């Protein structure tokens, strides 16, 4: 364990900023705390307990361009036959403009050749093609809470996990170049419930370095090899025994301040048993499908992929999506497997506490409580989970 004197925090940040872009919680002009780039004149806000949003956007931006392309259309009247010669002419035309043909669309009503011109950027994983604008710069995020770090590790399973089958180069380039310095929670909010999910206000899942506020500064613990090399800096002092004692006391006090509003045992079974329960209609009644809960959630990762084309020049990008959106599961045929609001509402909780756990042996919620804080109609995930757990009990009773 190391010790960082409080007045040495700016020195540490200045030092870190020579090696990477540093992100910290900052109170914005409107009073909202959000993660922002650190600069010498920026005050790090560690008193406001949770930033409005976790820094998930640092590894999974709201909007991200995959590739840029151009279309060339060749009408049948001009080209009676779409011959190899035609193809070659078009290929030469594209290459003469510095582009590259990466795909062709077979002719339908008219001869059509899709010409993709890959935007600048580094190479993606083999077999995934080139990636436009892949950001591989190093970043350090300091001041997030353990629940936010846990949210990142839950997203890791999806973007880089499952035996690497779904490896996402964009996400992983950023994630591998990101160092996480979390700060132990001091005074948890009434909406926090990390402990109910096996987490802790001093949890280390997804964390490289954990800092715990104590008198005069921070007790600093390296969690990963990345964290170990970071705490080698001379600004960190060797911790005296009283530093360790203070850190233990601070962690225990924080733990004691977190509510455990429901028993996790039985939640998954309750969701399963209550899949067709009319209770979902009651629970979903208040929801207005705004999607706020998904956007502020540190572990919600759903996205949509869109093409925007203007006069033959196009961009393919992904952007955050949310499962409350009626269009979310709308299929091309017109069929929508989650047509009703209660089915979409049910999906969010079932995904986090049933489907995802079945696939990744982990939860998809860290108990940060943001969805409770920011839901405009006061939908409370704790109430939903408690109610659905009772469905198991009800079923057992019937049996």
- What is the binding site for ligand SF4 (CB under 6 A)? 151, 287-293, 296-299, 324, 352, 365-371, 375-377, 379, 381
CB-nearer residue toward ligand SF4: 173 or 283: 283
What DSSP string describes 283-318? HHTT-----HHHHS-SS---EEEEEEEETTEEEEEE
Contacting residues for 386 by C-beta, under 8 A, at least 6 apart: 261, 262
CB-nearer residue toward ligand SF4: 27 or 341: 341
Contacting residues for 42 by C-beta, under 8 A, at least 6 apart: 24, 26, 36
Tell me how far, at minimum, the Cβ of 171 lies from ligand SF4, in Å: 18
Tell me how far, at minimum, the Cβ of 287 lies from ligand SF4, in Å: 3
CB-nearer residue toward ligand SF4: 174 or 370: 370
CB-nearer residue toward ligand SF4: 54 or 65: 54
Tell me how far, at minimum, the Cβ of 367 lies from ligand SF4, in Å: 5
Tell me how far, at minimum, the Cβ of 262 lies from ligand SF4, in Å: 12
Cα distances from 299 to residues 89, 189, 257, in angstroms, run: 49, 19, 23
Phi, psi for residue 166 in degrees, rounded to 5: -100, 30
21-27 and 2-5 beta bridge pairing: unpaired
Can you tell me which residue has the tokens 């914005």?
28
Tell me how far, at minimum, the Cβ of 315 lies from ligand SF4, in Å: 28
Tell me how far, at minimum, the Cβ of 154 lies from ligand SF4, in Å: 8
The whole-angstrom separation of Cα 54 and Cα 299 is 9
Tell me how far, at minimum, the Cβ of 336 lies from ligand SF4, in Å: 17
Which among 182, 258, 252, 251 has a CA at the least distance from the CA of 223?
182
The whole-angstrom separation of Cα 378 and Cα 384 is 12
The whole-angstrom separation of Cα 6 and Cα 108 is 68
CB-nearer residue toward ligand SF4: 141 or 365: 365
CB-nearer residue toward ligand SF4: 54 or 246: 54
CB-nearer residue toward ligand SF4: 327 or 399: 327
Q: Which helix (H) or strand (E) holds 114?
A: strand 112-115
Tell me how far, at minimum, the Cβ of 119 lies from ligand SF4, in Å: 33
Which among 303, 367, 301, 298 has a CA at the least distance from the CA of 56?
298
CB-nearer residue toward ligand SF4: 190 or 377: 377
């Amino acid at each position: 364990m190391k010790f960082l004197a409080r007045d040495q925090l700016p020195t540490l940040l200045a030092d870190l900023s020579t090696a990477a872009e540093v992100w910290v919680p900052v109170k914005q002009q409107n009073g909202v705390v959000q993660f922002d780039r650190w600069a010498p004149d920026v005050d790090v806000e560690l008193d406001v307990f949770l930033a409005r949003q976790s820094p998930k956007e640092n590894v999974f931006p709201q909007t991200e361009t995959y590739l840029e392309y151009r279309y060339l259309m060749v009408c049948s009247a001009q080209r009676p036959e779409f011959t190899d010669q035609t193809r070659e002419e078009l290929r030469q035309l594209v290459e003469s403009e510095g582009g590259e043909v990466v795909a062709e669309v077979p002719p339908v009503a008219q001869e059509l050749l899709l010409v993709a011109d890959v935007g600048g950027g580094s190479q993606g994983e083999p077999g995934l093609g080139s990636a436009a604008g892949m950001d591989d710069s190093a970043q350090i995020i300091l001041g997030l809470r353990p629940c936010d770090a846990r949210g990142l590790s839950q997203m890791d399973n999806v973007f880089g996990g499952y035996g690497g089958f779904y490896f996402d180069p964009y996400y992983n380039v950023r994630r591998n170049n990101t160092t996480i310095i979390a700060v132990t929670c001091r005074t948890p909010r009434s909406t926090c419930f990390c402990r109910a999910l096996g987490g802790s206000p001093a949890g280390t899942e997804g964390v490289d370095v954990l800092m715990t506020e104590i008198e005069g500064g921070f007790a600093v613990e390296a969690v990963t090899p990345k964290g170990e090399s970071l705490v080698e800096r001379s600004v960190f002092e060797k911790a005296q025994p009283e530093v360790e004692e203070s850190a233990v006391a601070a962690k225990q006090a924080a733990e004691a301040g977190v509510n455990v509003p429901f028993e996790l045992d039985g939640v998954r079974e309750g969701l399963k048993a209550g899949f067709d329960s009319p209770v979902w209609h009651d629970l979903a009644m208040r929801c207005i499908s705004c999607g706020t809960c998904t956007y502020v959630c540190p572990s919600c990762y759903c996205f949509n992929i869109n093409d925007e084309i203007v006069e033959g020049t196009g961009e393919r990008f992904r952007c955050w999506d949310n499962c409350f959106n009626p269009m979310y599961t709308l299929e091309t045929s017109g069929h929508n497997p989650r047509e009703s609001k209660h089915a979409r509402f049910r999906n969010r909780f079932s995904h986090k506490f049933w489907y995802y756990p079945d696939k990744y042996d982990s939860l998809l919620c860290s108990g940060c409580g943001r969805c409770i804080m920011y839901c405009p109609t006061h939908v409370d995930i704790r109430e939903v989970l408690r109610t659905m757990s009772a469905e198991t009990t009800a079923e057992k009773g019937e049996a």
